[in-house]
Amino acid sequence: MSFRVLFGHVGDDGIACRLPPHAPTTSIELSLCVEPADEHRAGTWAFGSCFPAATLSSKQGRSSFGSVALAAKVARVTPNVVRPPNGCFYLTLLVEVPHGALETFEAHRGETPEVEIQLMLNLTLFRASDTEGRAVLGEPHWVPDGSELVGASRTFSRDEWHRILRDLGFAEVLVFELPRRIVGDSGTALQTARAELEKARRAYDENRTDDVAQHAYLALDALAPGQGQIIDRIAKDYLVRLHPETLARLRAALIALMPTIQVGRHMAGTAQQPAVPITREHASWIYGTAALIVGWCGSLRR
């Protein structure tokens, strides 16, 4: 006996994305129905269990490549028992998509025209019989892999996949090379600043945009420990080798940039700036700007 999978509709176009706040793992929600595909379709069936998994692949024609394994779970099943003529179980699956897995997948996907999610359901159904209006379970029928499932995959066009990426809050992180001393120690202040930058990058990967701003600010604050304004301390410790006119202009530019970094929850109630919502696009700017300043100051210490 074989079974077929028919994808239903979530929202307007058959799919929904879940983006929990401050979570490193987002989810793609898929609705589908599972039904017997032969002459036994009209029988009474009871749902047993389902242990799903998924594979995300790039697709070019009939070829798939760059696969990434994803965890999945069953969110809902209705009904528990199906009788003729409605011989179909409706399942809602949540395919968990960590941002790290998305970065790996996107790094190899390129501009392939399609993306495919292949499901492995590991499904158990019971043949049942009616006795006085209730189902009596018979022998279980186990579907251990895709050999007895027809259509257990969902293909997305490039435009659909780009929309899914936006809904998942995914964007590429700006990458900067941070100069390091070849010989000798770079100094405790620079080491602390780089450690805070790494925390900011990790927060971006996990969609914790307020934490991106906090750690970027702490990275700049760590560059030149002491009292007074951050830019004044950085200018005193790092910019002294510059021509006075160049120093004055760069100091003014850094002062102008700071209000775009001193934002978010951690700045609420302070005299610098009121707290404002931070989008992923803004978080990219904050991280990139802080990385540029830290890297540049590191090069001035050589």
pLDDT of residue 269: 47
Length reported for the chain: 302
Say if residues 200 and 287 touch (Cβ distance below 8 Å): yes
pLDDT of residue 249: 92
CATH code for the structural domain at 188-300: 1.20.120
pLDDT of residue 257: 85
What are the residue boundaries of the structural domains of the chain, listed by start?
3-167, 188-300
pLDDT of residue 185: 46
pLDDT of residue 178: 52
And the tokens for 197? 């930058």
Mean pLDDT by 10 residues, the chain (302 residues): 56 56 71 70 76 87 83 85 72 83 77 82 76 59 60 81 77 52 59 89 78 89 84 86 88 87 61 65 87 82 60
Question: How far is C-alpha 192 from the geometric centre of its chain's CA atoms?
Answer: 27
* CA angle in degrees (0–180, nearest 5) for 124-128-131: 155
And the tokens for 258? 């700071």
State the DSSP string of the chain. Answer: --EEEEE--STTTT-EEE--TT-SEEEEEEEEEEEE-SGGGGSEEEEEEE--EEEEEEEETTEEEEEEEEEEEEEEEE-SEE-TT---EEEEEEEEEEHHHHHHHHHHHTT-SEEEEEEE--EEEEEEEEETTEEEEEEEEEE-SGGGEES-EEEEEHHHHHHHHHHTT--PPP-------SSS---HHHHHHHHHHHHHHHHHHTT-HHHHHHHHHHHHHHHS-SSS-HHHHHHHHHSTTS-HHHHHHHHHHHHHHGGGTS-SGGGTTSSS-------HHHHHHHHHHHHHHHHHHHHHT-
Say if residues 5 and 151 touch (Cβ distance below 8 Å): yes
What pTM, to 2 d.p., does this model score?
0.52
